[in-house]
Amino acid sequence: MTTATARRRPHGRVRWWTYLLLSAATVACLFPLYWMFVVATSDTATATRMPPAVVPGDNFFHLVGLVLDTVPFVRALLNSLFVATAIGAGQAVLCALAGFAFAKLSFPGRNTLFLVVVLTMTVPTQLSIIPQYMIMSTLGWVDTLQALVVPGLASAFGIFWMRQHITATISDELVQAATIDGANSWQVFWRIAFPIVRPAAFVLGLFGFVTAWNDFLWPFIVLKTPERYTAQIAIKALQNSYDVDLGLAMSGSFLATAPLVVLFVLVGRRMVAGILDGAFKG
Amino acid sequence: MAITLVPAPRAAPPPLVPKAVRGWRERLSPYAYIAPFFVLFAVFGLFPLAFTFYVALFDWNPIGDRVFIGADNFTRMFADPRFWNAARNTVSIWFLSTVPQLLLALVLAHVLNHARLRFALFFRMSVLIPYVTSVAATAIVFAQLFDRDYGMLNWVLGLVGVAPVDFVQSAVGSHVLIATMVVWRWFGYTTLLYLASLQAVPLAVYEAAAIDGAGPWQRFRHITVPSLRPVIIFTVVTSTIGGLQIFTEPLLIATGAPLTCGAVRQCQTLTLFLYEQGFGEFEFGYGSAVGVALFVVVVVIAAINYLLSTRIRADR
């Protein structure tokens, strides 16, 4: 496998400047995060010192205390966790189910409906935030977390992607055999199809989780009370406070970013593989 | 896996169970499986979009007053210097963020495609780290790094004798700052998209070129870039559509006047202008008109993309 993949790519000597370039890119990617940590652990005097401090200070817990006094940040992190998990898991299951229907079940209108799914990928819905807000207002969902979760569950791209995976990995014969044994389509999906495509659904869910965790515009419009804030909106609230403490906004940013960096260290390999599969071109 | 000698039909596969055997539940179940998407998209995607066109025809106040005014919002918008200012800023930021991102991603994808590269996974993961960092956190960190008085960048510039630059307060400076954040967050993702495409190029093509005496630069110029043309167009289009929606970065860098991104609207983007009109001034009608304008631009770009990609396929 490794040799087969390797043989398809350019070989020969790797030039020293290749590593120099890649190291520079790595430093450029990691330094802002490191700097966030440095300021999040320093007092204001250190954070604004020239030349800049480059090692973390010991003020972290003091600043975290200040963050917690200013906004209910633990609550915000839990809200983010809830919203992102619900969206990630919801997308993984709903898209797998719809993808299964489009890949393995025959029903009148199937091709037309799938075309509609594909076309919706090109519709930029973020530009209609005013009517979206009006709908939430009518539903009475303004300032609630379901205003974030429910619209986030619909993913045309996810359906498209899961359909590709199901078509590629599950043979018609397998589905047929299960059907002959008396399984209905729901049982075929849960007992056979979903277990097979679970890795693909997991990667789709990861991208949904990351996107939902980092979303700003929509939560910023919908959420009003601090107890309902997601982590991103809590950061914005910290920045608003007139007690100008550079470390404060930075500590909040750090608290909101650290969970995702940990998650990425654990599963980043699979996210990279997901993109290299050609999966996230949309 | 099963092997068949007869090629599978291109159309829908035959029903796996004869229709007579399947109950009405089984016949309707596929619709139930796809219904959640269609219901959610209709309610939270399509309907709001259509409703934007409707609201844009009114003088619509969220408290309840609404007066039909036809195309007045649009004539007002085209005569509004604030709209054109936001449009200019958006184009400027889009250009400053797309061009460097694309060039950087091209070069990095080319070198990451090397078979004997050590630590390949480490480098691939490193460039994707910014993608998992939120826009909000990115904006706060970069605003600090680019700060006039305490920013590290100005400290470095000072070492080489450059006077401190007030990035946020100047138009060009704030555009560069916002573009830098966009590039930082997205270049790794773009790199991996290009890399995915490059891995489909057969090694034989590179080998033949090397045998013919093509150096690294020529291989990059004549093999890597042309084979990536479709995905390059794809990323230009997605970055354009993304660029039209830039909102969080300008909102968070100009702390004094967030909704205008500065005293003289030096970095107010179109989406920020839409937000200011809709949720700052409570002019739902006028804000929706801006939304309609943005929608039209996105559709035009998508159409151009479609034409370009069919051309590319025809060229082959």
Residue range B261-302, pLDDT digits in tens = 988 999 999 999 999 999 999 999 999 999 999 999 998 988
Cα separation, A72 vs A226, in Å, equals: 7
A81 contacts chain B (CB < 8 A): no
Cα separation, B158 vs B173, in Å, equals: 16
| Contact state of A154 with B45 under an 8 Å Cβ cutoff | yes
C-alpha distances in angstroms, B188 versus A3, A270, B198, B230, B311?
26, 15, 15, 18, 28
pLDDT, one tens digit for every residue, chain A (282 residues): 344 444 455 556 778 888 999 999 999 999 999 999 998 988 777 777 777 778 888 888 888 898 998 899 999 999 999 999 999 999 999 999 999 999 999 999 999 999 999 989 888 888 999 999 999 999 999 999 999 999 999 899 999 999 999 999 999 999 999 988 888 999 999 999 999 999 999 999 999 999 999 999 999 999 999 999 999 999 999 887 655 577 888 999 999 999 999 999 999 999 999 999 876 754
A268 contacts chain B (CB < 8 A): yes
A235 contacts chain B (CB < 8 A): yes
In angstroms, the separation between the Cα of residue A79 and the nearest Cα of chain B is: 16
Q: Give residue A281's pLDDT.
A: 59
Residues written for chain A: 282
Report ipTM for this prediction. Answer: 0.91
Of B1, B34, B234, the CB nearest to A171: B1
| Contact state of B278 with A10 under an 8 Å Cβ cutoff | no
Q: Give residue B314's pLDDT.
A: 62
pTM: 0.91
* Weakly modelled stretches of chain B, pLDDT under 70: 1-22, 313-316
- pLDDT tens per residue across span B214-257: 888 888 889 888 889 889 988 998 898 899 999 999 999 987 88
Q: Give residue B296's pLDDT.
A: 93
A271 contacts chain B (CB < 8 A): yes
In angstroms, the separation between the Cα of residue A200 and the nearest Cα of chain B is: 17
CA-nearest residue of chain B to A282?
A: B238
Q: Give residue B250's pLDDT.
A: 95
Number of A/B CB contacts below 8 angstroms equals 320
- For B67, the enclosing helix (H) or strand (E) is strand B66-68
| Contact state of B128 with A13 under an 8 Å Cβ cutoff | no
Q: Scan residues 144-173 of A and list those with Cβ closer than 8 Å to B.
A: 150-151, 153-156, 159, 171-173
Cα separation, A238 vs A223, in Å, equals: 15
Q: Is residue A159 classed as helix, strand or coil in its secondary structure?
A: helix
Of B52, B123, B252, the CB nearest to A128: B52
End-to-end CA separation in angstroms for chain B = 34
Q: Give residue B11's pLDDT.
A: 52
Q: Residue B105 burial (CB < 10 Å; 0-12/13-18/19+)?
A: buried
Beta bridge partners of B66: B60
Q: Give residue B64's pLDDT.
A: 73
